[in-house]
Amino acid sequence: MKISIKRDFDFIEYNVDMQDATLLEVIETIKTEQDSSLAYSSGCRSSVCGSCSMRVNEKEVLACAYKVQDGDVVEPLKNVEVIRDLVVNMDKALATKKRAKTWLQTYNKEAKLTHEDEKTNALQSDCILCGSCYSACPVYAVNEAFLGPFALTGVWKYVSDKREAAPEEKIETIQKNGVWDCTLCNECTLVCPQNISSKADIEKLRMRSSMAGYSDPNFAQNFGGGLSF
């Protein structure tokens, strides 16, 4: 079986005699038996930590979960700095969570959560910060100031939490380079290993933004001038 791995600006082809193996297993074998200089990231090996995210045949996957096929083309995530081979620097993407204030800011001590309340944002809590959604995002590719998928999903998690006493502050935070900049292309959802739909979360944040009196600035810019005679 042959796979190609991007290293610097070239793709290096490797032959491996393995069947029904994960990409991580194949990469480890290549490093151990063929090329000790190959660099990659891994951690839990069970699709929990997200550190082994990379692209195969132009789609984001977790190396510990993806089963290798003959002819696969492997490369690092997009829209992030490549440190070496398949190792990337996630600092800029992770910094969006700080800018988006994805934490409980003002605690409502009177709030009592029911089991139904817990289900409201349980899926959003499953995000493993693998960066696949940022790699697939066409907006983040051209605008690094964009808050991006997992940060906006994090905002919805707390906006929808009854224990957050000031959700309007979070809504205000995401008006610029946030909910209105997303094209709703759904690429983030398609590559999420946890089946989280950031697109759906952004749509809900747009609705909450509209309820708070905000509107799409692009719409206002294009049509706000009205008609002249």
Q: Residue 109's pLDDT band (boundaries 50, 70, 90)? A: confident
Q: Is the backbone of residue 20 left (phi > 0), alpha (psi -120 to 50) or beta?
A: left
- φ, ψ dihedrals at 139, nearest 5°: -75, -45
pLDDT digits (tens, 9 = 90+) for 65-99: 999 999 999 999 999 999 999 999 999 999 999 99
Topology agreement, domain 2-75 and domain 90-217: no
CATH architecture, domain 2-75: Roll (3.10)
Task: List the chain domain ranges.
Answer: 2-75, 90-217
For tokens 């984001």, what's the residue?
60
pLDDT digits (tens, 9 = 90+) for 118-149: 899 999 999 999 999 999 999 999 999 999 99
* pTM of the predicted protein model: 0.90
Residue 222 has what pLDDT? 59
CA distance 179 to 214: 11
CATH architecture, domain 90-217: Orthogonal Bundle (1.10)
Query: Which among 183, 118, 185, 128 has a CA at the least distance from the CA of 153?
Result: 128
